[in-house]
Amino acid sequence: MALAAKLQLRQSQSLVMTPQLMQSIRLLQLTHIELERFIDEEIERNPLLERAEPQDDAAGDLSQKSEASPEKDTEGDWFAGEMEWSAEAISQKLDSSLENLFPDDPGTSERLGPDLTAQWKSAAGGGAGAASSEGFDVGDMAAAAITLRDHVGEQIALASLSPSERLIAGELAEGLDEAGYLRTELDEIAVRLGTDGATVAQVLGVCQTFEPAGLFARDLAECLSLQLAVRDRLDPAMKALVANLELLARRDFQTLKRICGVDEEDLLDMLAEIRALDPRPGLAFSGGASDAIVADVEVRAANDGSWAVELNADTLPRVLVDNVYFARIATHAKDQAEKEFLAECLQNANWLTRSLDQRAKTILKVASEIVRQQDAFLVHGVRHLKPLNLRTVADAIGMHESTVSRVTANKYMLTPRGVFELRYFFTASIASAEGGEAHSSEAVRDRIKQMIDEEKPIDVLSDDAIVDMLKESGVDIARRTVAKYREGMNIPSSVQRRREKRALANAGR
């Protein structure tokens, strides 16, 4: 068979990460404070954008302006003012469409097919931390203190990670406390994202190389070890010292010298190195003023016995496209460059307003499904919190897990039982000892806390005793899991609690 060159035409669809698409993805995970800041920057850059203030509604001049919505065809606005536009110039400015932005929308799926919808997963590269570091100019960075989340997000964006690994890194970053310690179980993250524990552990290893050294440690010993490794001082003797911090706290130097295999002079040098380390590396980013929590979603009981889920209007910025001003200045455009600038401003303005509207609808859809899944929690409390992961919600509302993950990041829900972060409702499941319905890890934590709060001074519960009591109530849990949950709630061990109760009893005498 002879080989010959020939031309073939093929038609295919793909999801392109355009600047507008990345902007819209980022809008999903911004808090309302970050969103307000972003809107202010866009209004400064785009003369066709303005806010809809309350006094504008009272004055009645909004009838001359149009607020874009998904149902409105905005393409007709491109020819306002009887301007003669170049079709080539306009097509060059349109770098994407809303069909590429929200393939999870059922209508879009019908138009474009399931293949493009499935490719939404490729957009998961902008993790929670990665996107949060974009869009801030030098003035804003100088005026506002950099938070730990921003600092870690910048490093996630620059790390050698795949899109799926960036999503995992963003989840790990969400689990950091103010001191920089990781307080989220790796198994819970694996279950939540539908991956395996080995992959999460691998991404954690990358995150533990971030600056300052010691971030993403799970305890004090690991935090000190990470800092010593950076200084190339984690030799066997130092490893032994870090592994026996309890002896160091008791100042049992004789035992430490024997365990580490060093003399007194070397031990003093090692202690001096330990004192030079930072046990709370994340506190360097907590000096700024904290923002008050404002709920993005409000849940209240309806008259028919169901739950009414509404968006908080205070967290939804209203942005208008001033078509009257556009029509007036468009007729005075002098050259092609000015026409193209106006076309770009109008296209960006329409895109932004529609993206904000879609963002609000997506948040409401996700929140409504969470309320439906966690109805028992709203009625009876934390003991009835159901195990829930991102995939369950994503499948129920026809969206991808990455979309649900972005929507639930840094969003809060006001319920009759208080204000909760949306991710509070996503918990790992613990099997039932009797083969029944699984239990939520958060509900089990609450049970453990109540058991310890109600224990008597003469009968302090050990971890093994708590395991036995939980198994009697139908919870199949391991002793090490009970210990992790107890330590995560800053509850000391049974030995320490017994000493404290004895000391209080003796002081009362």
Contact 192, 171 (CB under 8 A): yes
Residue 30 or 289, more confident: 30
**d(Cα 82, Cα 77) in Å, to the nearest integer?**
10
Counting Cβ atoms within 10 Å, is residue 47 exposed (0-12), middle (13-18) or buried (19+)? middle
Task: Report how far apart, in Å, the C-alpha atoms of 203 and of each of 82, 162, 186, 224 are.
Answer: 56, 10, 10, 20
- Weakest-pLDDT range from 76-90, 189-203, 308-322, 492-506: 76-90
Share of the chain above pLDDT 70, in %: 76
> Of the candidates 418, 502, 494, which has an alpha carbon nearest to the alpha carbon of residue 457?
502
CA distance 28 to 405: 9
Task: Please check the confidence at residue 129 and state whether its pLDDT lies above 50.
Answer: no
Distances (CA, A) of 407 to 17, 147, 167, 299, 360: 19, 20, 13, 17, 10
pLDDT at 17: 64
More confident residue, 435 or 500: 500
pLDDT confidence of residue 305: 84
The pLDDT score that the predictor gives to residue 314 is: 85
The rounded mean pLDDT for the chain is 77
- Please state the separation of Cα 362 from the chain's center in Å: 16
* Rounded alpha-carbon distances, angstroms, from residue 394 to 100, 194, 287, 305, 362: 19, 12, 37, 26, 11
Of 61, 92, 87, the closest CA to residue 325 belongs to 61
Lowest mean per-residue pLDDT among 228-232, 233-237, 432-436, 473-477: 432-436
pLDDT value at 333 more than 60: yes
pLDDT band for position 365 (cuts 50, 70, 90): very high
Q: How many CB atoms lie within 10 A of CB 471?
A: 14
Q: Which two tokens stand for residue 322?
A: 């001033």
Residue-level pLDDT at 282: 87
Please report the pLDDT score of residue 381 as a whole number. 86
pLDDT at 298 over 90: yes
Peptide bond into 416 cis (omega under 30): no
pLDDT digits (tens, 9 = 90+) for 431-465: 776 666 678 888 888 889 888 988 887 788 888 88
253: three-class secondary structure by DSSP: helix
- Ramachandran angles phi, psi of 344, nearest 5°: -65, -40
Among 72-81, 107-116, 216-225, the range scoring the smallest mean pLDDT is: 72-81
Q: What is residue 481's DSSP assignment?
A: H
Higher-pLDDT residue of 290 and 285 is 285
Report pLDDT for 412: 92
- Residue 375: both structure tokens together: 């109805």
Exposed / middle / buried, residue 472 (Cβ in 10 Å: 0-12, 13-18, 19+): exposed
Split at pLDDT 50, 70, 90, the class of 144 is low
Q: How far is CA 386 from CA 110, 373, 398, 488, in A?
A: 33, 8, 21, 20
β-pair type (49-51, 297-301): unpaired
Verdict on whether the full-model pTM lies above 0.75: no
437 against 197, higher pLDDT: 197
Closest alpha carbon to 201 in 187, 214, 212, 215: 187
